[in-house]
Amino acid sequence: MASIFSKIISGEIPSYKIAETDDFLAFLDINPNAKGHTLCIPKKEVNKIFDLDETTYLNLMAFSRKVAIAIEKAIPCKRVGMSVVGLEVPHVHVHLIPLNSMEDIRFLNKASLTPEDFQDTVKAIKAYL
Ligand code: 5GP
């Protein structure tokens, strides 16, 4: 069965898209730790990040770096943190999270954003890509 993220890639499930290439997609996390929390995924559906072939892994990191640099310019924060977990969705994804404190990387406190907040965030990040 297709993962929830494959359904986002195909458009079956809507998302707030930040960036897309033939092989990768970046979109806002629907339950963000902080405003600007973004997920970068390979379109190839693989469960665990270190099972990716080396080229896809390295290209995912390069894609995530570009998106992270744009997030850091768009969203006021001390830095952008990166995390890979994957316990909820078995489709490789890199979390990029604007950090102001350790709390922001702990996946405990969640930011509550309106649809307008998500749309504004997409616009703000895309302006730096
Ligand atoms: P993990 O698998 O790394 O533990 O977490 C999966 C992440 O995907 C969570 O932060 C969760 O909020 C996010 N997520 C789960 N389902 C969806 C969805 O349908 N759309 C979006 N944009 N994010 C999702």
In order of their start, the domains of the chain are: 4-126 (3.30.428.10)
Instruction: Measure the CA–CA gap between 96 and 126, rounded to whole angstroms.
Output: 15
47 lines ligand 1 (CB under 6 A): no
Phi-psi region of 15 (alpha: psi -120 to 50; beta: other; left: phi over 0): beta
Give the ranges where the chain is alpha helix by DSSP (H): 4-10, 54-74, 115-126
Mean pLDDT for back-to-back runs of 10 residues, the chain (129 residues): 94 98 98 98 97 98 98 98 97 98 94 97 98
- Residue 1 has a pLDDT of 79
Is there a contact between 37 and 29 (Cβ–Cβ < 8 Å)? Answer: yes
Q: Which of 37, 91, 93, 95 is catalytic?
A: 93
Contact (Cβ atoms closer than 8 angstroms) between residue 78 and residue 43: no
pTM equals 0.98
> 1: Cβ–Cβ under 8 A, 6 or more apart, which residues?
none
Q: How far is CA 102 from CA 3, 24, 35, 92, 109, in A?
A: 30, 28, 15, 23, 11
Residue-level pLDDT at 29: 98
93 included as an active-site residue? yes
Q: Is ligand 1 within 6 A of the CB of residue 104? A: no
Query: Ligand 1 atom closest to Cα of 95?
Result: 3
